[in-house]
Structure 1
């Protein structure tokens, strides 16, 4: 049956595409993408305390991936929310849930022999949405133009068809003998296919982008899910959706694969640059803090400044880094040395690692 945007796309073909050819242009981009991913991976492998910076980079990815779905929060609001419980806006909570979902997916893969399964995807979306949502069971889902309400695409329906499509996608992801294509090309295919299946009532885009990160870890292209891929999609959001449609309507895989490879190249470079800048700033702060705090210098405090840039006395207490009086003295000394800058919000004074916040905000 011919494709119609107004009817459920139950004839969505399984992967891999039959007519796809790795053009010379794609092969050149593949080589470049592999080189920059390798550089990023090597940098992550050399970090003495990888979780410190990785947690911060993942939070940036969470912020931009959520922004693609028009869930927008500021850097200040996000890091303030990450520093304390119960005061976050709805948008900030969704971004923090995205980061949690990424770690849930990683943990699930380790307990499933490094396999990326449908039940992993379900747990990811449930963590993002903080509910018990599962595979869509009812008909009527259609993606519409936000301005004029025109139907753009109608994904497959219903649960039995969706599970069948997801099972085929599982096999393509996890069976190395299924396709001899390069893993980065496969990632582009996997991302399109998941978006086209659109198995959940909400949260598909964010789940699909987490699947990207998990797939790169599964394929041992990255030790940690640090690729800041959503920053590229945010910048070229219109093209992203146009190219997804072009695959569906015109079978134009070439331009879609080129888009994803370009995103990998640019974001691998950006992420490498950000991590190096964070390391440099951390080294600079360590020297300054040893001068400022003398014998009471705390490496745990330095680490916390790069994990949660919005500090307050209670946070240092809760993390068992210092008692209240010591924490107050440290933060005031770091303020006087212009390492941290104070900002009063309500009754609470936050001490902000402002140079890290500036670094995170630049592209």
Structure 2
């Protein structure tokens, strides 16, 4: 991609949507892209949760890119952004994992606060000290994820925090440049197997199947993400050529970037990104509608301009 930053407004939201859905926080694609974290305008409570997830991912990404470490402070900050509180690690006993069908406790994570702190300190060392074990980073990511989920250090948000750590670890290990892998989609599609294998390791130390499950997930989602990015790149070129050939006066890199950062864009977004007056932004958007690049819809009192072809790519299964 000529500018990978344009992917950061879309693909991390898809990862956030899938990861949140695993925890039964379900939103529609329309609600997701009509919402805006910067202005605190959300189409639904679930969309707000998903946007908080994306912000937590961005916070962690910036921290890892800056320090090259995944520290306990970063993990706590990610969870705090997700949950909107600073409760930190569990200090009260009683947290257990319950089978939602039988309502029986299937696993009791460490209960004593000191034990949680000790286990998390050990995990922090394991994550950041490559000299401890000579494992392939993808295998190590599977081990880290299981250990974090089994320590279950927070009152809430453990699953989503753990899945953010997956992506942050791949970034730390230079296997990803930006947080755009859809790993949670694979987990969401195979949720029953995911939870079964998590528990199987706890019950019988059967690590092989768990590691293979996670490796398969990375392989599948990496292939899917590569295909998606290639399609987005082709679509960008198509739209660039159309604008240049049929309405060159409105073309700018900033405008193209806006259309791909915001599948549902607005006059205000274009005016801000292109540093132009609202009236000029409105005229440019209406011209893009005439060209068939955007579709204009009114939702409530606001006009949205939808990059329909991009939107279709993002929601493809």
TM-score by length of 1: 0.84
Aligned to 1:10: none
Alignment of 1:16-31 (within 5 A): none
Aligned to 1:78: 32
User: Matched residues in 1 for 2:275 and 2:231: separation?
Assistant: 25
Alignment of 1:168-187 (within 5 A): 168-187=122-141
Return structure 1 stretches of 4+ with deviation > 6 angstroms. Answer: none
Aligned to 1:41: none
Alignment of 1:22-41 (within 5 A): none
Does residue 254 of structure 2 align to residue 297 of structure 1?
no
Among candidates 91, 96, 105, match of residue 46 of structure 2: 91
Q: CA deviation at 1:77?
A: 0.7
Alignment of 1:1-363 (within 5 A): 47-82=1-36, 85-88=39-42, 89-112=44-67, 114-363=68-317
Please list the CA deviations of residues 173-212 of structure 1 after superposition, one character each: whole Å capped at 9, or x if unmatched: 1111111121111111000000000000011111111111
Q: Structure 1: any 5+ residue segments left out of the alignment?
A: 1-46
Q: Does structure 2 conserve the Cα–Cα contact (< 8 Å) formed by 1:125 and 1:207?
A: yes
After superposition, the CA RMSD in angstroms is: 1.5
Q: Structure 2: any 5+ residue segments left out of the alignment?
A: none
Q: Does structure 2 conserve the Cα–Cα contact (< 8 Å) formed by 1:82 and 1:308?
A: no
Q: CA deviation at 1:292?
A: 3.5
Corresponding pairs, count: 316
Q: Does structure 2 conserve the Cα–Cα contact (< 8 Å) formed by 1:312 and 1:351?
A: yes
Aligned to 1:14: none
* Secondary structure of 1:177's aligned partner: coil
Q: Specify whether residues 354 and 84 from structure 1 end up closer, same or farther in structure 2 by C-alpha distance, changes over 3 A only.
A: farther
User: Matched residues in 2 for 1:78 and 1:127: separation?
Assistant: 18
User: Matched residues in 2 for 1:278 and 1:83: separation?
Assistant: 23
* Secondary structure of 2:298's aligned partner: strand
* Secondary structure of 1:351's aligned partner: strand
User: Matched residues in 2 for 1:98 and 1:90: separation?
Assistant: 13
Q: Specify whether residues 79 and 202 from structure 1 end up closer, same or farther in structure 2 by C-alpha distance, changes over 3 A only.
A: same
Please list the CA deviations of residues 229-266 of structure 1 after superposition, one character each: whole Å capped at 9, or x if unmatched: 01100110110000001000111101000000000100
